[in-house]
Amino acid sequence: KMAACCSCFPGLKPRYKRLVDSIYPTNPEDGLVRSEMEKLTYYAASAPEKLDRIGDYLAGRLTRDMARKREMPVVIAMEALNQLLLACHAQQINLFVESFLKMVASLLESDNPEFQALGTNSFEKFSKIKEDTASYHRRYDFFVSKFSAMCHSQEKNKTTRHKIQLHGIRGLRGVIRKTVTDELQVNIWEKQHMDKIIPSLLYSMQDDPDSSLTEEGCTVIDKGDSNHSALAEESLRELISRATFANVSAAFVPALSHMDNHSLWAPNNAFALKCFKIIMYSIQAQYSHVIVKMLLDHLDENAAEDDDIKASMLQVLCVIVPIPSSAAIGPSVLDVFNRISKHLHLCAENTPHSKFEDALIETTGVLAAVVPDYQKLETMTFYVNRANEVLQNKEDLSENTVNTIDQKFAHLLLLCLLQIVKTYHCNNISNLTTTLLEPLLNVALITTPTDRLLAQSLLTSLLDRNNNSSRLMLVSKQEDVEALGLITSTVGKYDSDFVDHRLPNIYNWLYESYTLENNTISNFSSLYKCAAVLCVSIVSHDVVVDITRIMLAIQAVAVDSLSSSAVHYDSCGMLASTSCCLLILAHVSAVPEFQHYVNQVMLARQNFSPHFMPQYALVSQTNKTTTKLSPENAEKVYFQSSHIYNALKGRSGYNVEKLNRPFQASLKVETLSAEGQRSLDIESINIEFSVDNQNSVVAEDGIMPAENITFEYLKQVFYKPPMTKEERLTKQKKLADHIRNAPFEQLLSE
């Protein structure tokens, strides 16, 4: 009764009500009474316990005015609330904020766009206020839902729709600013909120997908807050920049879903590129690898989608990976490349070439470019072992049942390896471990000529210390070699392990690669580059002599092929390629006599056998007609070990005695024991077995008695023809069985 009575007599109203009533002018069009507002503000600051009552009273008047559609009194009430919020920072402000948020919610629920704009402006000002006390009970679920709905407004009037959408974005920005920095507020990173905020911001950005980005990832905004696309982009940056490791996925998953639902991956993925660049620029660098992982997860989940869509996803990945300053792949590098290889295998099962294959290969190179060199080596080791396993399985099959899927898979792996090796620089050649080189050498022997060319290029790049492969051209005289400008590297103290243990295997591979029957001129050109890079990357007297022996042995095979029709080699290609290598060797040796002799042979070839010259034999794939040479001319056009022996004789450091012994590839034995697989190098054991059982006596245990090892026997073994593959396998098995079964004391004595 007292309250009702007091309402009839304004003089009996509580002071805070009188102060609130006095801020309303007689004519609403005159706006807020500033002098009375100052009195209300002073009173609220002096008596903060009255704030909640002031808020309730203002809320009541605002609700009544809204119901009566009085716009100016509503504007005056919200302006008063805004000024009170800015002026008062007492502990009791929380109760006043509740009244304020109720009034903002009432305005947003209105159908009047002006009221919605008024509520948004007030909420945005409130979001900039730093509260002194935490509010554990306050929730912003309604505001997230309402502002998100405003972003998707479908108002028929374009101007009104644009205005509502703009206020929706500003409201979401206010929610982000108010909640994302305060851990005691509502958890804005919950799925129910992110599923509304992220799609709303992305939807608002779709009107301007081509906004320019600077290198630092900042958008060039020159339209202020009237450009809702730029405003949404700014809000998204602010949100993502606050993300921690625990909630990165909460913001990224809705973005991926938005791209899927609105078909923004293909055929044009410009908007997807823009969005994920924004995310990658905004996120903290130490969490960027999470984005890469989630994009790969999404690719795995959509493995059955169209190849164009998956290729667009990989294109996005290629663009965002180089953005962060730190490594973007994270700790599980091999896992990332393993997942790429799984998609490659799926591509191999689909015989037609697809855009997705090219995207996978390109992505491999981009990912490899951001990891350190030791991880590149690990990745290359992983890929080349996969290719080796696949090709070994293929080799075990008969020629009529070759698995084309495995063959294509190995081809794709080699293409990926080429992309990785482009980003690798060989600073220390000893980093090329046996686990990388042996499978690569094996792959380079058992593949088709086309894939073999890829493997040869890989090995050349791995051995190239000074980027000499890009300088190498076909040469026919010493002047041509000098014009190449090759950079040489001598054997250092860290190269001894490579020279002692891995270089012999490369020698064997080089000889066997040259003597394969189905080589093309591209293979011979590639082998020349590989041998030349090896010469200039490891300059030593032993390397010069050893590779010279190999070239002479290959020349012998080519010459025998010219006089025999049993084996069909491209003898002209072999002779031309070896002549280029010998020119490089003579240049590296810096021995004038050696250089002069090689030049003489090349000049004789030009006169008597031009079809042996590199410019002819390694350029055209057409049939090469050869003329029979007289013995006198044959001695001039073929390199003679005796002449090279005389040229190097007397030079310090050159073991020229090796030149009198023809090169033969040493054998590599791989066998399975009870403990697992092990490799045995025949040369390191110094046990020799005779292949010719008719002319030698071998005991039952496979050991040659000492009394049977005579000079004639050694001469016979030394000059015997190379073994066939079947004989070699038999010899390997026999030796392996002996070493595995013989007592240790016997092996030691042998």
Q: How far is CA 55 from CA 48, 77, 123, 698, in A?
A: 11, 10, 15, 110
φ/ψ bin of 464: left (φ > 0), alpha (ψ from -120 to 50), beta (otherwise) = beta
DSSP classification of residue 724: P
* Lookup result for tokens 């008969």: 398
Distance (Å, whole) CA 268 – CA 273: 10
The runs of H, that is alpha helices, within 464-591 are 478-484, 496-497, 503-514, 521-537, 541-562, 571-589
pLDDT at 622: 55
Q: What is the pLDDT, as a whole number, of residue 513?
A: 93
Residue 398, Cβ neighbours under 10 Å: how many?
6
- What was the pLDDT predicted at 411? 92
Give dist(CA 342, CA 314) in Å, integer: 14
pLDDT value, residue 695: 45
Rounded to an integer, what distance in angstroms lies between the CA atom of residue 413 and that of residue 383?
6
Residue type, 163: K
668 φ/ψ angles, rounded to the nearest 5 degrees: -120, 120
Helix H or strand E encompassing 230:
helix 228-241
Q: CA 532: distance to chain centroid?
A: 30
- Closest to 647 measured CA to CA, from 554, 548, 748, 743: 548
CA dihedral 592, 593, 599, 605 (to 10 degrees): -170
Q: What angle do CA 581, 583, 585 make, to 5 degrees?
A: 70
Q: Kindly list the averaged pLDDT for each block of 10 residues, start to end, along the chain of length 750.
A: 48 78 80 82 79 81 83 84 74 71 88 88 84 68 92 89 92 87 68 92 76 45 65 92 88 93 89 92 87 91 88 92 68 85 89 85 91 90 92 56 77 94 87 90 89 94 90 92 91 81 91 91 94 92 93 91 68 92 94 94 89 85 60 83 90 86 64 35 42 46 69 74 77 87 85
User: How far apart, in whole angstroms, are the C-alpha atoms of residue 483 and residue 470?
Assistant: 13
* Spatial distance between the Cα atoms of 356 and 315, rounded to a whole number of angstroms: 10
**Distance (Å, whole) CA 166 – CA 204:** 9
Residue 749 in contact with residue 688, Cβ under 8 Å?
no
Residues linked to residue 671 through DSSP beta bridges, in sequence order? 678
CA gap 48, 511 in Å, rounded: 94
Rounded Cα distance between 750 and 747, Å, is 5
Q: 745 — phi, psi (to 5°)?
A: -65, -40
List C-alpha distances in Å: 414 to 379, 419, 458, 530, 706.
Answer: 12, 9, 8, 17, 48
Give the chain's end-to-end CA distance (angstroms, integer).
121
- Chain centroid to CA 303: how far? 19
Asked if residues 475 and 531 have their Cβ atoms less than 8 Å apart, the reply is no
pLDDT attached to residue 676? 36
- Using the structure block, give the residue that is written with the tokens 């980003």: 423
Contacts of 88 (CB under 8 A, 6+ apart): 41, 44, 45, 48, 51, 96
Look at residue 666 in the predicted model and tell me its pLDDT.
65
d(CA 273, CA 736): 58
Distance CA 533, CA 461 (A): 9
Phi, psi of 704 (to 5 degrees): -80, 120
CA–CA separation, 196 vs 202, rounded Å? 10
Q: Distance (Å, rounded) from C-alpha 114 to C-alpha 111?
A: 9
Taking the alpha carbons of 331, 335, 338, 342 in that order, is the dihedral positive or negative?
negative
Supply the pLDDT for residue 91. Answer: 57
Is residue 11 exposed (0-12), middle (13-18) or buried (19+ Cβ within 10 Å)?
exposed
Q: Give DSSP secondary structure letters for 134-158.
A: --SS---HHHHHHHHHHHT---SSH
